[in-house]
């Protein structure tokens, strides 16, 4: 995502127009979503904070994701993405969140969860939670970049759908 990308400008405009603050909880993207958002001048009007919770312990300590949830379903799962998105809101002053957990590769994949599997969680208050899984193709950089683009695109759609 490049500075001046129209998608980032659009996200900022729709969040600011609705007086909403975004918070991110990122694992496989390692803060790239937060970095893209804060590359926009004036993003302090709509970006609250970003949390990189790469390890399972960080997901538990910073976001309140129950360790047993991670053990039962795996860090890359619908349940963990949902808990991350809700935890990001509970541990911030944000109004809307995006959480990303996945397998960027080149290792770490399995038959059930191949490299490129990324779960997204989106939450707005406690009333709206949405999760989705996407399998991206490519190397580590391509998977991470595609995950950032997908997260930002979905955020625009979710916020604009008000």
Mean pLDDT of the chain: 95
What pTM, to 2 d.p., does this model score? 0.95
66: left (phi over 0), alpha (psi -120 to 50) or beta: beta
The number of residues in the chain equals 162
Cα–Cα dist 65/86, whole Å: 9
pLDDT digits over 136-147, tens only?
999 999 999 999
Phi, psi torsion values for 99, nearest 5 degrees: -125, 145
R_g (Cα) of the chain, nearest Å: 15
For residue 4, pLDDT beyond 60: no
Domains and CATH numbers, the chain: 20-160 (3.90.950.20)
CA-closest candidate to residue 21, choices 97, 129, 94, 76: 94
């Amino acid at each position: 995502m490049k500075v001046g990308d129209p998608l980032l400008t659009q996200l900022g405009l729709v969040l600011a127009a609705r007086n909403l603050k975004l918070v991110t909880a990122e694992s496989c993207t390692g803060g790239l979503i937060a970095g893209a958002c804060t590359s926009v001048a004036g993003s302090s009007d709509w970006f609250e904070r970003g949390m990189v919770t790469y390890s399972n312990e960080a997901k538990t300590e910073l976001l309140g994701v129950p360790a047993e949830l991670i053990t039962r379903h795996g860090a890359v799962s619908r349940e963990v993405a949902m808990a991350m998105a809700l935890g990001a809101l509970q541990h911030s002053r944000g109004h809307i969140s995006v959480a990303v957990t996945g397998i960027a590769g080149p290792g770490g994949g399995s038959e059930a969860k191949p490299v490129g599997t990324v779960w997204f969680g989106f939450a707005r208050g406690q009333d709206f939670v949405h999760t989705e899984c996407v399998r991206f193709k490519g190397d580590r950089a391509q998977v991470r970049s595609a995950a950032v683009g997908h997260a930002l695109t979905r955020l625009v759609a979710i916020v604009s759908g008000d």
